[in-house]
């Protein structure tokens, strides 16, 4: 590949080459450590003498922008001298809007590999060893063969027909969702599905009702769309429907496994919610993020299946059942929103990567997903029982798990003379990753608790990790 340098005229050639390479290095177009062409090769490319290029390289060397390694070549310096002051936010005409986005907190981020602790109770993550590498690789090779015949064209914004058909069959079988392939829009995770729904429904000041506590990234996404998000409390039966305010345009709920507390919305409450939505003309977003992993309790029909008015937008994800790195999700769009969501998807990113779509379609069609979920269910069930045994046993004086029948996290209330943040900070000192419930509350009177995931920690590591937590609590009690 040729280095991009433009020569104009016949004067100051060495200076032209020097200036363009200098600017490329300082702007990052030429990355630190990147190898530059030999002077003879670059001279041939530009149609100038080798001496001209050598003069430019010599000046760059004096400026400490490049280094020459004998026998290896010429490279961009790994440590560059400071450049002139870059444009800062205060210089921008749009600084007010940019600062609003800059100030948005982004909770529930997973730590980068080098920051992960020995024992991680983070929610939403699963053990790498559980991922079906061999089956996925086989399906990925099939996907590459399929795309080889279609390469060069964009795909449908709503997703490949083969994947929409596979998803419709899967959620109909495993979750009781009543939909056709044409009702589905394939998205880059459930987060994009919610973003698209908000784009086509929300205006500045629109009222959105949301569970309190609830999924913080959903709340922040809706607030970023300038919605007025109203926290609605939950009780043992789920969202308190009678607290949904008049004028609500959108209702966000996690009825199967309430995030983060874990209760399941009762049948009576589900019907009441649909009646209230019909009265308001509001769309209900049913976020069914991890109900594949159900351990005990009664199964209820999804809101989407109970809906007779076309008011429920059902969203799901493969982040929990497969891997969050895939960024694959979907929305079952109500008829009134279907075309709008497809158009919004088209404008947002045109379509989700087709190689991933073909891979997942094949993976599901061959039955790998159902087998994988069954294997994970056994693993998560063992970890859940071990965690509950400790929380209801020797840790019960300080920690109380809330009932939850699905998923792979538990909400745990703290009965100790310290805040959740303090306990998390102390736990980090002994290589245990604990995470507070604080970010899930929009209002300041949230109860102190932990969001304890058991997807990423191995069963044999749970006891050693909780022994360290118990040691902290015993020391504080003493």
213-230 pLDDT, tens digit per residue, is 999 999 999 999 999 999
Q: What mean pLDDT do residues 43-67 have?
A: 91
Q: Is 457 exposed, middle or buried (0-12, 13-18, 19+ CB in 10 A)?
A: buried
pLDDT classification of 85: cutoffs 50, 70, 90: low
Average pLDDT, the chain: 92
Which residue from 217, 180, 215 is spatially nearest to 332, judged by alpha carbons?
180
Q: What mean pLDDT do residues 61-81 have?
A: 87
Q: What mean pLDDT do residues 320-337 have?
A: 95
Question: Which of 25-39, 244-258, 270-284 bottoms out in mean pLDDT, i.e. has the lowest?
Answer: 25-39
Above 80 in pLDDT, residue 188? yes
User: How many CB atoms sit inside 10 A of residue 351's CB?
Assistant: 20
Secondary structure (3-state) at 211: strand
pLDDT classification of 27: cutoffs 50, 70, 90: confident
Domains of the chain: 13-76 (1.10.10.10), 113-128+371-477 (3.90.1150.10), 153-365 (3.40.640.10)
pLDDT classification of 446: cutoffs 50, 70, 90: confident
pLDDT classification of 455: cutoffs 50, 70, 90: very high
Q: Provide the token pair at 308.
A: 């007779």
Above 70 in pLDDT, residue 83? no
- Contact between 327 and 205 under an 8 Å Cβ cutoff? The reply is no
Q: State the pLDDT at residue 5.
A: 83
Q: What whole-number percentage of the chain has pLDDT above 70?
A: 97
pLDDT classification of 97: cutoffs 50, 70, 90: confident
């Amino acid at each position: 590949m040729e280095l991009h340098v433009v020569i104009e005229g016949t004067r100051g050639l060495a200076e032209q080459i020097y200036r363009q390479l200098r600017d490329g290095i300082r702007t990052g177009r030429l990355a630190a450590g990147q190898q530059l062409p030999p002077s003879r090769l670059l001279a041939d490319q530009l149609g100038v003498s080798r001496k001209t290029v050598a003069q430019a390289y010599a000046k760059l060397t004096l400026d400490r922008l490049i280094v020459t390694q004998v026998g290896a070549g010429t490279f961009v310096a790994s440590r560059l001298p400071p450049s002139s002051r870059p444009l800062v936010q205060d210089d921008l005409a749009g600084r007010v809007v940019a600062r609003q986005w800059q100030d948005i907190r982004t909770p529930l981020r997973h730590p980068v590999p080098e920051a992960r602790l020995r024992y991680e109770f983070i929610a939403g993550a699963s053990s790498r060893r559980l991922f079906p590498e061999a089956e996925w690789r086989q399906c990925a090779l099939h996907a590459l063969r399929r795309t080889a015949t279609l390469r060069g064209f964009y795909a449908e914004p709503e997703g490949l027909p083969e994947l929409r058909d596979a998803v419709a069959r899967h959620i109909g079988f495993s979750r009781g969702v009543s939909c056709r392939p044409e009702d589905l829009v394939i998205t880059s995770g459930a987060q994009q599905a919610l973003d698209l729904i908000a784009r086509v429904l929300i205006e500045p000041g629109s009222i959105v009702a949301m569970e309190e506590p609830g999924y913080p990234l959903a709340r922040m996404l809706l607030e970023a769309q300038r919605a007025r998000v109203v926290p609605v409390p939950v009780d043992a039966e789920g969202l308190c429907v009678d607290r949904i305010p008049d004028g609500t345009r959108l209702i966000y709920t996690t009825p199967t496994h309430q995030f983060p507390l874990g209760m399941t919305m009762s049948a009576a409450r589900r019907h009441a919610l649909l009646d209230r939505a019909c009265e308001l003309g509001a769309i209900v977003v049913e976020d069914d993020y991890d109900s594949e992993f159900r351990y005990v309790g009664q199964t209820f029909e999804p809101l989407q299946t109970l809906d007779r008015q076309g008011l429920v937008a059902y969203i799901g994800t493969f982040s929990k059942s497969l891997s969050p790195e895939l960024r694959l999700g979907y929305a079952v769009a109500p008829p009134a929103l279907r075309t709008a969501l497809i158009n919004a998807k088209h404008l947002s990113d045109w379509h989700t990567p087709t190689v991933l779509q073909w891979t997942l379609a094949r993976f599901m069609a061959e039955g790998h997903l159902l087998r994988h979920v069954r294997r994970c269910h056994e693993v998560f069930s063992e970890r859940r029982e071990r965690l509950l045994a400790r929380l209801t046993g020797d840790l019960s004086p300080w920690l109380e798990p809330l009932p939850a029948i699905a998923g792979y996290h538990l909400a745990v209330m703290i009965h100790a003379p310290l805040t959740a943040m303090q306990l998390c900070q102390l736990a980090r000192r002994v290589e245990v990753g604990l995470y507070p419930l604080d970010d899930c509350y929009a209002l300041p009177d949230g109860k102190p608790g932990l969001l304890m995931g058991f997807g990423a920690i191995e069963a044999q590591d749970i006891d050693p990790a909780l022994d360290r937590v118990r040691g902290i609590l015993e020391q504080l009690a003493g």
